[in-house]
Amino acid sequence: MALRRLRALPTLLVDGALAAVILVVQMWPLLTADDRTGLPWDWWGYVVVVAASAPLVWRRRAPAVVLVASLCAGSLYDLADHVARQPIWYGALVAFYTVASRSVRWLRLTMLVFTLTGGLATVGSSETALRGVVLFVAAYAIGRAAATSRAHAAALEERAEQLERERQMEAERAAERERARIARDMHDILAHAVSLMVVQAEAGPVVVRSDPARAEAAFDAIAATGRDAMGQLRRMLGLLKEDEAPRAPQPTVDDLPALARQVSGAGLEVGFSSSGTPRALAPDSAVAAYRITQEALTNTVKHAGARHADIRLTWEDGGLLIDITDDGRGSGHGLPSGGHGLIGIRERAAACGGTATAGPRPDGPGFQVSARLPVAGPCP
């Protein structure tokens, strides 16, 4: 936390504080009188110390210039005889570290050669030369390590930002897919319920006097269909509210017998049969099986003019085959290029890794919708 706050400060302020600290440390030997003579040090030493330390304020803006200025100033220190001994020039080391961590390769190497060559040429003893070489090489190594660490941190930050962008994009795509799925489900619910209610409402007035019991049953079927549609719509709309509690599960393939009975109550006789050994479907595949059958029966009620329809489930090793047939006049066409009903059937099947076909029955008059859904495999 403290390091993060320090990095957030203006660089000129941070470098100015660093230059002030180094100035105090470098000036420390000059703050007391000469122990041998008791006299104050020559003024020249103070000037050189300030000249060698002050440029560090601009070390990140012009690293090489600051390094040259600090080295040249430090080399002038011994022009005066009565000055305190300075074993280490901290300003030059910090400037050299900055060059190593922030400059391009050719400039770093040039400054390395310049510093070592100039230092060896001006020192007065081998011990001083060795110490200077070790210190500057260490400063160079630390600077390169800092640059590598900074580059690695920047790469990690960039990667984290990229992952966050990808996560947000995936969340948006998932939300779009969910909205499309909810729209399809609402279309199926409304189209199915309204179709059944219209059929019953048209039949009710015809028999209200001749067969009151049948008329009463028709109105009861309208009410039951409306209540069922309202319940399903509430569940679908509840999915759009993040703060809502989990709702009841959607109808699945296990609810197809109830769907057949519901449609039969609307005047279309619907048969249901199943063969083979039932197997577990993925949750979305099970919902897709129900919605595909619901949409096919809705089309039959609205367009086919049929008296009888059949729902046949055939459980196979690799999946579930659903056939919905009727004895109506049919459309004489396969999956259309326009409209939403049969296209929605095809899209639901494809979303689960399955297929769907629609067209006239090959074994007689009427229309047939067939869908094949895999036993296993997630749906988006």
Beta carbons of 366 and 328 less than 8 angstroms apart: yes
Looking at the domain 255-380, which fold is it? Heat Shock Protein 90 (3.30.565)
Sheet of strand 355-360: strand arrangement: 269-275, 308-315, 319-326, 367-374, 355-360
pLDDT at 230: 72
Domain boundaries, the chain: 2-122, 255-380
Q: For residues 313 and 281, give the distance between their C-alpha atoms in angstroms, rounded to a whole number.
A: 13
Q: Which residues contact 21 (CB under 8 A, 6 or more apart)?
A: none
Q: Pick from 196, 372, 227: which is nearest to 299 by CA?
A: 196
Ordered alpha helix ranges (H), the chain:
2-8, 11-27, 43-53, 63-75, 90-102, 105-122, 126-207, 212-238, 256-264, 283-299, 341-351
Per residue in 223-270, pLDDT tens?
A: 777 777 777 666 666 656 544 444 556 788 888 998 888 888 766 788
Q: Give the end-to-end CA distance of the chain in Å, rounded to a whole number.
A: 42
Mean pLDDT by 10 residues, the chain (380 residues): 69 86 87 71 86 90 90 83 80 90 88 77 65 84 90 89 86 75 72 71 65 70 73 66 54 87 78 87 83 86 82 88 85 44 78 86 86 68
Burial class (CB in 10 A: 0-12, 13-18, 19+), 89: buried
Q: Pick from 317, 318, 306, 280: which is nearest to 369 by CA?
A: 306
Tell me if the pTM is above 0.85.
Answer: no
